[in-house]
Structure 1
Amino acid sequence: MSDTFTDATDATAATAPAAPGRRRSRTVLLAASVVVVGAIASAGALGLGGGDGEAPAAPPRAGSTVAVTRATLVERTKVEGTLGYGNEIPLPVKATGTVTWLPEAGATAERGDTLLRVDDRPVALLYGTLPMYRELGMTTGTATPEAPDTAPSTPPSAPPSTPPKQDGDKRPATTAPTIAPPRPLQGMDVLQFESNLAALGYTGFTVDEKFTSATERAVKRWQKSLDLPETGRIGLGDVVYASGRIRIGQAGVRLGAAAGENALTYTGTTRKVVVDASAEEAAWAVRGAEVTVGLPDGSPVKGRVASVGREATAPEGGAGGAAPTVPVTITVPDQRALGRLEGGPVTVEYVGRKREDVLTVPVAALVALAEGGHGLETPEGRFVAARTGLFADGMVEVSGPALGEGMKVRIPQ
């Protein structure tokens, strides 16, 4: 019958051709029908329409399915940092004279070690926070002349004179002034020094705020071990105080030059990381916050924010629009995890935002909806609208009235 119908149609078309106007009208109607059908099909596939968040089902397509899970998403960000020992600080060397020996850069020094030699005298390192500001030792007594038993009868206007004493002269002989015994020096700097002296093994005195004769004897024993004159006194430039073990930095003078406060620099012996963090994005830099330090070989090491600078500065040599930064210092508790690496570029990974107990799906499961926004496709081919939140580690936070934990969604191929 279809063949007959076709023939009849062809015959009619051959004998009675349609008017030009009617032929154009039919062509326009057919094209419009195709457009309407295509739009309806597209709307069904993309989830248009439907007030409950779901669209009419479309034929299922190939692709893997995953479940909507409830989890905690953590946003992690990496920034660049530098591993090292920190900024070098000048040692407060107060010795005066000619530098006759300097240590090598990178060497470590601890209590009692010689930092440098000035006029071939050692300048020793001691531990403490109070700087050396005076000489330490027993204070010198003052001379007090003894008054004679009877005052001379010389009139006040007569010039003083002492005629030679003759035989039988009854006047008292002139007496020499007496010297008071030395008195102990007192102060917190004495306590700090005596604590160091005792820690070096030179004891026999009470560690307190008084520099006594017992302290003096211990000092003489220490001076003897250093091949120094046994004076029992500590000069202003004989010692330098630091908070603990130090690492020698670059020397500020050469052998044969005059000593001074810039003769030698130092750092601590603990390796740390410094990050020049953007001042606008430094909210993560909170003292005590935990971070992960990525070493040049890719190994991760745990770190902790120790301090954050209070002043923002523009990067050196940067363009005029460069964002200001603040220095963030990060300590590494497990120094052994750093191996033998003493410096170099590293990465610091910190936690930015965190979303706990939220619905999540892989980012690849999201599809763009024609009306805007994102959605998820069910295994049956329906599209469900989904609001997105935090993106982290290939997952995304999703929410919506039609979404629930355990729901299956498709990942398009």
Structure 2
Amino acid sequence: MTAPDETHERGAVGPGGESSGTLEVRAPGTVAAEPEPDSAVPAGSGDHGGPAVPAGEPPADGRKRRPLRTSLIVLTAIVVAAAAGLAASGVLGGGDDDTSRAPTGPSATAKVKRTTLTDSETVAGTIGYGEAATVQAVAPGGSAQGGAGGSGGSGILTWLPEAGATIERGENVYSVNQQKTPLLYGDIPFYRTMRSGDSGSDVKILEANLKALGYDGFTADSTYNAATAAAVEEWQDDLNREETGEVDPGDAVVADGARKVSKVTGSTGTSPSGPLLSWTATERVVTVDLEAQYEDLVEVGTKAEVTLPDGSTVQGTVTDVGAPSNVADDQSADAGAAGGEGDQEATLPVELKVKDQKGLGDYQAASVDVTLQSESRKNVLAVPVNALVARDGGGYALEVVKPSAPHGVEYVPVELGIFADSMVEVSGAGITEGTVVGVAK
């Protein structure tokens, strides 16, 4: 690359390191603004330095590629600032009376370093107890009492828990005619009257709970026999129920664990009709309405860092990814009435479990930041993003400091990998750990 000595056009680095007709990014001695931390992959580069993916086409593995984010604008800003710096300094040449001197090397440098890069995305989340479920009184035989058009079940509600109460296995959920209806742990509700001679998964749930509550004299399997019936009679006596040795659907409420009462809608002294209360899990979780463009970042088991309002962090694990829901669908009627289009992106409900509940402090409901890791690359060579120089015809190069080269630098083409924390993975002939390269200052 020769020093400018006539009137020159702005030159970018050509494929062989020569000057071409258009400045795409910066040249030696250029001063440019430092990019923001959230740097994105420049258009035309592959995820790991491979062939570019044409705009608008999905990647070969069929997963939707996330769009370039606002950090790409920062890279463009570096280009503009670099061009302005070159013109102001006279490096590009002036006119017939050009007296500018050739650059002698970059004004700022950095070393290629070997490191681990982790690409991530931070999204908004909320601490809470998860989605609330309602509890209805169940009549013998299995139907909810007081359904649509119903007049309510027999009996009178004589006890209900208070909002905020925690109910564990064997504890009372509600009472009708002073008969307790306990909580049992399981994954299916009782749907039939169970008696001696029956077998099935509901029998297995019943017997497992009786064992956990301290009742014995039977084998906890999936068969209801005379020994099971005897244990049931003892259990019914403790609940102030008639000792029948049989279990009706309304004799217990089944849930997958302890529950925290969030709201009480029933009233004592009335018939048990309609929803009696709503409850949630007892452990706090983090929920995220994730934009569909980021769906490739999450699956069950994905780890994430949760940043609390006080700046402390805890680790979370994705336990559930729901089906996409379009906000516009939910609001279409309102938007139509208001004259709006209701055109909003689809979101995925994502739930994360936080094992360290103490790490969540006293927060019961709070907004948090959730950082999802999309990709991590270990032991790679990386440089600051603002060390990249665009090449004429596509691709990028590094301005390698070489005292023996003309003007002290040589432009070396590189392939790009992932971007993270203002750094970019690079590879190319002669690029090794410790190589000194120019950067925009």
**In structure 2, do the counterparts of structure 1 residues 375 and 135 end up closer, same or farther at CA, with 3 Å as the change threshold?**
closer
Q: Which amino acid aligns with 1:393?
A: D
The aligned counterpart of 2:61 is: none
- Name the SS of the counterpart of 1:197 in structure 2: helix
Tell me if 1:68 matches 2:112: yes
- Name the SS of the counterpart of 1:80 in structure 2: strand
The aligned counterpart of 2:434 is: 406
Structure 2: distance between partners of 1:209 and 1:410: 73
Structure 2: distance between partners of 1:295 and 1:109: 28
Q: Which amino acid aligns with 1:121?
A: Q
Aligned length: 329
Alignment of 1:348-367 (within 5 A): 348-366=370-388
Match of 2:199 among 187, 191, 197: 187
Shift of 1:365: 3.6
The aligned counterpart of 2:419 is: 391
Shift of 1:300: 1.6
Match of 2:261 among 243, 248, 259: 248
Tell me if 1:79 matches 2:123: yes
Shift of 1:249: 2.6
Contact 2:387 2:399 in 1 (8 A): yes
The aligned counterpart of 2:217 is: 204
The aligned counterpart of 1:102 is: 160
**In structure 2, do the counterparts of structure 1 residues 51 and 242 end up closer, same or farther at CA, with 3 Å as the change threshold?**
closer
The aligned counterpart of 1:116 is: 174
Output the aligned Cα RMSD: 3.5
Contact 1:287 1:306 in 2 (8 A): yes
The aligned counterpart of 2:191 is: 133
The aligned counterpart of 1:344 is: 366
Shift of 1:89: 1.3
- Name the SS of the counterpart of 2:180 in structure 1: strand
Q: Which amino acid aligns with 1:84?
A: G
**In structure 2, do the counterparts of structure 1 residues 53 and 253 end up closer, same or farther at CA, with 3 Å as the change threshold?**
farther
Larger radius of gyration, structure 1 or 2? 1
- Name the SS of the counterpart of 1:86 in structure 2: coil
Structure 2: distance between partners of 1:240 and 1:349: 37
Shift of 1:87: 0.8
The aligned counterpart of 1:161 is: none
Match of 1:290 among 303, 312, 316: 303
Structure 2: distance between partners of 1:324 and 1:270: 28
Structure 2: distance between partners of 1:51 and 1:61: 19
Shift of 1:240: 1.4
Q: Which amino acid aligns with 1:328?
A: V
The aligned counterpart of 1:218 is: 231
Question: Which range moved further: 364-373 or 202-211?
Answer: 364-373
- Name the SS of the counterpart of 1:186 in structure 2: coil
**In structure 2, do the counterparts of structure 1 residues 370 and 230 end up closer, same or farther at CA, with 3 Å as the change threshold?**
closer
- Name the SS of the counterpart of 2:327 in structure 1: coil
TM-score when scaled to structure 2? 0.64
- Name the SS of the counterpart of 1:105 in structure 2: coil
Q: Which amino acid aligns with 2:349?
A: P
Q: What do residues 155-178 of structure 1 show as CA deviations (whole Å, max 9, x unaligned)?
A: xxxxxxxxxxxxxxxxxxxxxxxx
The aligned counterpart of 1:39 is: 7
- Name the SS of the counterpart of 2:309 in structure 1: coil
The aligned counterpart of 2:71 is: none
Q: What do residues 19-58 of structure 1 show as CA deviations (whole Å, max 9, x unaligned)?
A: xxxxxxxxxxxxxxxxx84536x87xx6768945699994
Q: Which amino acid aligns with 1:303?
A: G
**In structure 2, do the counterparts of structure 1 residues 210 and 340 end up closer, same or farther at CA, with 3 Å as the change threshold?**
same
**In structure 2, do the counterparts of structure 1 residues 402 and 204 end up closer, same or farther at CA, with 3 Å as the change threshold?**
closer
Structure 2: distance between partners of 1:214 and 1:298: 57
- Name the SS of the counterpart of 2:358 in structure 1: helix
Shift of 1:102: 1.5
Shift of 1:64: 4.4
Structure 2: distance between partners of 1:405 and 1:210: 68
Shift of 1:312: 3.1
Shift of 1:211: 4.7
Alignment of 1:142-153 (within 5 A): none
Structure 1: distance between partners of 2:377 and 2:255: 46
Structure 2: distance between partners of 1:85 and 1:299: 20
Tell me if 1:259 matches 2:286: no
Contact 2:292 2:324 in 1 (8 A): no
Question: Which range moved further: 339-348 or 368-377?
Answer: 368-377
Structure 2: distance between partners of 1:219 and 1:353: 54
- Name the SS of the counterpart of 1:337 in structure 2: helix
Q: Which amino acid aligns with 2:356?
A: D
Question: Which range moved further: 371-380 or 352-361?
Answer: 371-380
Structure 2 residue ranges without an equivalent (≥5): 20-26, 29-100, 140-152, 336-340
Contact 1:367 1:376 in 2 (8 A): yes
Match of 1:301 among 314, 322, 339: 314
**In structure 2, do the counterparts of structure 1 residues 356 and 58 end up closer, same or farther at CA, with 3 Å as the change threshold?**
farther
Shift of 1:234: 4.0
The aligned counterpart of 2:78 is: none
TM-score when scaled to structure 1? 0.67
The aligned counterpart of 1:23 is: none
**In structure 2, do the counterparts of structure 1 residues 368 and 268 end up closer, same or farther at CA, with 3 Å as the change threshold?**
same
Shift of 1:271: 1.9
Shift of 1:105: 2.0
The aligned counterpart of 1:177 is: none
Q: What do residues 246-301 of structure 1 show as CA deviations (whole Å, max 9, x unaligned)?
A: 22232232333331462222222232222111223311112212111111212121
Structure 1 residue ranges without an equivalent (≥5): 1-35, 138-183
Structure 1: distance between partners of 2:264 and 2:124: 29
Structure 2: distance between partners of 1:50 and 1:246: 66
Shift of 1:349: 0.7
Tell me if 1:278 matches 2:300: no
The aligned counterpart of 1:33 is: none
Shift of 1:132: 2.1
Tell me if 1:313 matches 2:326: yes
Q: Which amino acid aligns with 1:103?
A: P
Shift of 1:84: 1.4
Contact 2:17 2:410 in 1 (8 A): no
Structure 2: distance between partners of 1:87 and 1:321: 26
